[in-house]
Structure 1
Amino acid sequence: MNFDLLERRREKFVLWIPAGPAAKTPSLVLCTFQPGPPATFHTIFSGQLRGSDRPDLWELDPNDIEPSLKNDTVYHYWFEIQDSSPEDLGVIQVTDPMAYTVDYRDTKNQGEHAQPASVIKFRDGKLWPCDINGNEPSQVAVPPHNAMPENNHIVIYELPASWAKSRQIGDVQVDVGTFTDVLALFDLNTAGDRFRDISNIANEAIVADLGINALELLPAADAKPTGEWGYATAHYYAPDFDLGTSSELVKLVENIHLKSIRFFTDVVMAFGHDPYIYIAFMQFHLNLEAERNNPDSYQPHSKELREGWGGRLWRYIRDTDTYDPKSGRPGHMHPSWAFHHGHLHRWMSDFGVGGLRLDSVNNIANWEFIKSYTNEAWSLYRSRYDTPSPSKFLVIGEELSVPVDMVTSGTLNALWNEPFQGRLRAAILGEPADSDNFEWTVRKMVNCTLDDSHPFTDGAQAINYVTSHDTEGFRKERLFNFLSASRVSDIERRSKLAFTCLLTAVGIPMIFAGEEFCDQMDRPVGQKQVDPVNYERKAEDWRARVFNYIATLVELRKNCPALGVDDTDFIHVDESREGKIMAWKRGAPGQAPVVVVANFTDHDTSGIEYFVDNWPEREREDWREVTQGRNVPMEWVGREPVMHWEAKIYTYWRG
């Protein structure tokens, strides 16, 4: 599927300004980079762009530039425009809004409005995307369709770029990992980059060993902040400069595809820090202070104003007659819609995206746009295969109020299931959640289709999690910190119970990086986007036991058919213990079931036997307990004791 503006960029320098520039014809400022020190840019050309055969499209053929450009040479450039933002900064230089590579060298310390250079290579009379070193990245090869996991059997690993390592006892160094560091988590032959001196990373493939089959990188598009993984996206078409190059991202994705792991990326479209703030503010962005009467300023179905979080809110209601960047023809369209569809084409075509997570969909505030984005993503996915499966791609929305009608209307495919986290954290303290009693807290946690307040109709619609990157607010911190603050002494035991619930519940499980070994917060509790993952902690004995336990359950969750359907029966509720020992069976008729027996109390079951009512197929001889990897003698099926804060998982399925 072609996107006209992206194709035109191969032939010419191109700048799209819907409704045209207000006061000044845009110019191209073309430079070569001198590494220094100090690093400097040497201007070789500065001249006006020209109007094209399409309205509001400004172009310049690189072959018309004098002196002539050198073949096979990397160039840095900006567009010089009259600032259209409310700040009115005058004539300024801005990054190409659709640059595939940006370079912050010599611009990082020049003030908040300084913009990085766009990077391109001139070769054989055309313009070619390249890394800052001139390497031309390949596209991620389309993975074999039958090798990719289905939505109902994926386990998502939510990975921020902010990592940590100890410099000395009691002192932690926090830095941002790179795409190569991420690759080291999956590939034993990759030592890593900034974190290669951590033995767990250099000598293990930690995340590959965990067994997850979907990697979600928290925003991988370029953002200006350094030393954290914030949601301040500035250059939507370029990988983050601090994380590495396009070539390194391609290498990462192709490596995980070989392991049948899908690549998800996080996209921030409620607000931006992008060049269109200066190029064509009123076409792309809201001035919230001056537009209180504009319906685009408010979240849907509420009177709450949208929140820019330090950026500028994208404008979604405005449309205009202009060049259509996708079709290449003049048309009546929404500029911001087209811009975001364009970077969707870039990421799905070049980086093999197999799923998307849309940040803060209520703050995007335009369901019509979100639905168009979802539909465009699916069109791109379907174009990869002759017979694409509807169960191997997914567009997820994050909105903590869980507006399930966004799923039932086809606006999104799935939502974060925020109530799951609250119910689970209450349950592992032996408490009820919301207005339910304990039994119904567990029932709704295990089976999201029973939640009458947020009625999911299919497990593939709900993303469940023990912890997410949103580690601020009541009971949101990392699991270790939550249990410590709750004065729980048996953290290992309760962590295992928590992940048993997560990985046997209806819904798609998501593991926040570090939770698989009970990482704890190195930055103050209550701050998100700054707390790192400390992979060194995985080496501690009890944390390694938690890791191995979760890895065993991940393998079951990925492969066992009974955990890929919604069918759930609660076969045992111990009323003598206030309903706090329960058993549930997962699986459809005719499938080998999975039975979970969970004890949410401080006490072991009494005696040498604990009888579970309604146990299915009790007379079989091939039952096994999964977490301990042992066979269960027929006379003990459904009769084994359960220790305090323990869950046992049984099945006779064998993969």
Structure 2
Amino acid sequence: MSRPISESKPAAKSSNFRVDNPFHWTLYRSLGAHLEEQNGKQGVHFSVWAPNATEVSVISDRNGWQVGKHSLHASELGVWSGFFPDYTTGETYKFALRTRWGQILEKSDPYAFSGELRPNTASVISDLSTYAWNDDEWIKNRDSKTWINEPVSTYEVHLGSWRIPTDGRTYYNYRELAPMLVEYVKNLGYTHLQLMPINEYPFDGSWGYQATGYFAPTSRFGTPQDFMYFVDYCHQHEIGVLIDWVPAHFPTDAHSLGRFDGTSLYEHDDPRQGFHPDWNTNIFNYGREEVRNFLLSSAHFWPEMYHIDGLRVDAVASMLYLDYSRNEGEWIPNRYGGRENLEAIEFMREVNTKLHGDFPGIMTVAEESTSFGGVSRPTYDGGLGFTMKWDMGWMNDTLRYMRRDSIYRSHHQNELSFRMVYAFTENFVLPLSHDEVVHGKRSLISQMPGDYWQQFANLRMLYTYQYFMPGKKLLFMGGELAQWTEWNHDTEIDWALQEFDKHQGISELIKDLNTIYTDEPALHVNDCHSEGFAWIQCDDSANCVYAFIRYGNDDDLPIVVLANYTPVPRPGYRIGLPQPGYYQEVFNSDSTRYGGSGVDNEGGIYSEPIDAHGQKHSLAVTLPPLSIVAFKPLVPAKSISRPASGNGKQAKKK
């Protein structure tokens, strides 16, 4: 059985579980606005933490938005609360807080389950207990997954610009998006969706990364129940759902968390600690227990109340270092004189420990671009405890190499091979995300060099290389269509390109890559283990050729991969192999099915007893131009020698 809302003690029954104490993991059950009955009357209990306010009241349509009509009472811990009859779901409200200096601040509820559609900023009373979930089987199976050994192929989506209605509306509803999006990603073979932030946010251009609703899915696409339906529908069709979560910073909008009760309540007071210069946002005070538990509760909320399968945590690097994007004199060292943000590090460990303990099958994924050690290692081993980490180094090195004209690639052979020096130090995701196709970077195909044919061939190589290298996969929407224009959040992706063979060929490539990645254990079970990879050769810079082997478990046949990064076909290219036999060509990015030239190996090749690369057997392979080909031996798997590590040396697997 899944964890039903009844098991997690729904907000609608909060009077039984409410505690006047902002020091625990599930504050969303007590703080905020909760339907309940008192003395035979139905109404809403309101609670808000504002320890430095001198007066707090609820303002709403019901009281004409007049301060003081519905006053709350304070506890010793600074939690203001009160029950008012006749309030019900759908009504809007804010908290009016009088500061020590007499100023009245009108704030949205930090724990609101729903908010008004921008530009309006009031909170909306919502009941999350009314939705009947139908994803028990998915949750049961998910809880037993060890995702680093499973195929994880993720389609990253901005819901507002994936598709736009043609009837004059700005957005589709969550319920409308669910069948369209699920059918599309299932057809392409993806295992997961990753949604750019769906928590409430005021400015469309922030894409959700400047959040004001840490417990509220954005009303742009419907109600909380509509979003529950979206997740439920995905699960019933075996698609996991991850969401971006942003605990690194929050916006300075007047209705938001900034100087919430007239003081720096959620943020540091000193701008050297509490203000982010890159994004003009506030930075959470992770050393304050009430603030830390606000964020911990938010992290816990999404998998509990919305059955979310994972959180991709944004801007982790900015949380780890006190001097992130700051010059000398613009930051304050930690208590040991160092640059590490010790409170933020401890906070991330708490988040991962709790989430993996309460929801064993979910993923937490860090977007982290530095060399900080142990991001995806267990907390008991000194790590931060994330399930996985984005490999930003792979993304940068690979795109830098792919942008080079093929005539110059021979001078940069190590840009692709260097990755294997560190490839197993973390559990990596290989991302080609929205960040690579915005702010003038251009779309992926527009970044590829050469003429029209070469641009498509290079893009096919980029995607194929991503799928055959160790690591989980992520691609931002539009990449599967070889969209020429970079992403614009105000327009949908260029669906008209589906009518053109070259562009449709890229979609077919992605579909087949997802199929072979999922079907061949050698391509996913050791994504995060060094025994799953061995170079055959990586130093043929003259020809810009790489060759390597991917290994699965003992009963799994390996996959041999060769890449030719020049537009010149290379017949008879010899590679050494540890095992003789017939090697079937199982993938070729130059296939005419994908828009390629069709140069191939006629289905497969028999090995020959000719020494090469330190092996007694070898293949003479035809390498198509600007292409990657893959082979699978048709021999007993247990008879094949395996590497002991990913350093290129061959040895029997222990």
**TM-score with structure 2 length normalisation?**
0.73
What SS does the corresponding residue of 1:81 show, helix, strand or coil?
strand
2:612 maps to: none
User: Given that residues 218 and 266 in structure 1 are in contact (C-alpha distance below 8 angstroms), is that contact kept between their aligned partners in structure 2?
Assistant: yes
Task: Determine the structure 2 residue equivalent to 1:193.
Answer: none
Report if the CA contact (8 A) 2:165-2:172 is conserved. Answer: no
Give yes or no for the alignment of 1:399 onto 2:359. no
Distance 1:431 1:573, change over 3 A: farther
Confirm or deny: 8 A CA contact 1:573 1:579 kept in the other structure. no
Asked if 2 retains the 8 angstrom alpha-carbon contact of 1:149 and 1:262, the reply is: no
Alpha carbons of 1:549 and 1:640: their partners in 2 closer, same or farther (altered >3 Å)?
same
Which of 416, 420, 426 is equivalent to 2:394?
A: 420
The Cα shift of 1:621 comes to: 6.6
Q: How has the CA–CA distance of structure 1 residues 504 and 59 changed in structure 2, closer, same or farther, with 3 Å as cutoff?
A: same
Q: 2-side partners of 1:559 and 1:375: how far apart?
A: 36
Deviations 1:298-325, CA, capped at 9 Å, x for gaps: xxxxxxx8436133222223x3xxxxxx
Separation (CA, whole Å) in 2 of partners of 1:167 and 1:254: 23
The offset of 1:177, in angstroms, is 5.3
Unaligned runs of 5+ in 1: 34-40, 64-68, 109-114, 122-127, 131-135, 188-204, 298-304, 320-333
Q: Deviation digits for residues 606-629 of structure 1, max 9, x if unmatched? A: 4xxx24321343313766446669
Residue 191 of structure 2 corresponds to: 213
Aligned to 1:468: 434
Q: Which residue of 1 aligns with 2:299?
A: 344
Query: 1:557 corresponds to which residue?
Result: 517
Taking structure 1 as reference, are residues 337 and 167 closer, same or farther at Cα in structure 2, changes over 3 Å only? closer
Going from structure 1 to structure 2, the CA distance change for 1:615 and 1:589 (only over 3 Å counts) comes to: farther
Match of 2:267 among 265, 285, 290: 285
CA distance in 2, matches of 1:185, 1:156: 16
Q: Distance in 2 between matches of 1:427 and 1:508?
A: 20
Q: Note if contact 2:536-2:548 (Cα within 8 Å) is conserved in structure 1.
A: yes
Higher normalized contact order (CA 8 Å, seq sep 6+, divided by chain length): 1
* 8 Å CA contact 1:158, 1:511 repeated in 2: yes
* Partner in structure 2 of residue 57 of structure 1: 79
Q: Match for 1:411 among 384, 390, 393?
A: 384
What is residue 611 of structure 2 aligned with on the other side? none
Instruction: Measure the CA separation in 2 of the matches of 1:377 and 1:573.
Output: 37
For residue 243 of structure 1, report the CA deviation from its aligned partner.
Answer: 2.6
**1:314-463 aligned within 5 A:** 314-317=284-287, 319=288, 334-365=289-320, 366=341, 368-384=343-359, 388=360, 392-408=361-377, 409-413=382-386, 414-429=388-403, 438-445=412-419, 447=420, 450-451=421-422, 456-458=424-426, 461-463=427-429
- Residue by residue over 1:110-150, the C-alpha shift from the partner in whole angstroms, topping out at 9 and shown as x without a partner, is xxxxx6222226xxxxxx348xxxxx445674534435672
Q: 2: CA distance between counterparts of 1:616 and 1:598?
A: 19
Aligned residues: 545
- Are the structure 2 counterparts of residues 376 and 78 from structure 1 closer, same or farther at C-alpha, using a change threshold of 3 Å? same
Q: Output aligned runs, 1:244-259, within 5 Å.
A: 244-259=222-237
Give the Cα separation in 2 of the matches to 1:55 and 1:140.
40
1:330 maps to none
Change (3 A) 1:374 1:222: farther
Name the SS for the 1:614 alignment partner: strand
The Cα of 1:60 is off from its aligned counterpart by 0.8
| Alignment correspondent of 2:70 | 47
Residue 100 of structure 1: SS of its match in structure 2?
A: coil
- The structural deviation recorded for 1:185 is 3.6
Match status 1:117 vs 2:95: no
1:584-603 correspondence to structure 2 within 5 Å = 584-588=548-552, 590=554, 591-603=556-568
Aligned pair partner of 2:148 in 148, 151, 174: 151
- Are the equivalent residues in 1 in contact too, given 2:267–2:282 (CA < 8 A)? yes
Q: Secondary structure, in 3 states, of the residue corresponding to 1:639?
A: strand
Q: Is the 8 A contact 1:224 1:233 kept in 2?
A: yes
Instruction: After TM superposition, give the deviation of residue 504 of structure 1 in Å.
Output: 0.8
Question: In structure 1, how many angstroms separate the alpha carbons of the residues matched to 2:564 and 2:116?
Answer: 55
Report the alpha carbon displacement of residue 582 of structure 1 after superposing the two structures with TM: 1.9
Given that 2:26 and 2:300 are in contact with CA atoms closer than 8 Å, whether structure 1 keeps it comes out as: no
Code of the aligned partner of 1:49: L
CA RMSD of aligned residues (A): 3.8
Aligned to 1:568: 533
Indicate conservation of the 8 Å contact 2:413/2:539, yes or no.
Answer: no
Larger CA deviation: 228-237 vs 613-622:
613-622
CA–CA distance in structure 1, aligned partners of residues 102 and 621 of structure 2: 73
Contact kept? 1:155, 1:508, Cα under 8 Å: yes
Of 38, 43, 47, the match for 1:15: 47
Assess, with a 3 A threshold, how the Cα gap between structure 1 residues 404 and 4 changes in structure 2: closer, same or farther.
Answer: closer
How far the C-alpha of 1:76 sits from its partner, in A, is 2.0
Separation (CA, whole Å) in 1 of partners of 2:586 and 2:177: 35
Shift of 1:16: 3.2
Identity %: 16
Stretches of structure 2 that go unaligned for 5 or more consecutive residues are: 1-7, 10-24, 37-43, 321-340, 594-601, 609-617, 636-654
Between the aligned partners of 1:495 and 1:181, the Cα distance in structure 2 is: 32
Give the equivalent residue in structure 1 for 2:97.
81
Moved more, 401-410 or 582-591: 401-410
Q: Is the 8 A contact 2:582 2:605 kept in 1?
A: no
- Mapped to 2, the partners of 1:467 and 1:74 lie a distance apart of 36
Partner of 1:465: helix, strand, or coil? Answer: strand
Instruction: Report the residue type matching 1:603 in the other structure.
Output: V
TM alignment of 1:451-600, pairs within 5 A = 451=422, 456-458=424-426, 461-472=427-438, 476-483=441-448, 489-521=453-485, 533-564=493-524, 565=526, 566=529, 567-573=532-538, 575=540, 578-588=542-552, 590=554, 591-600=556-565
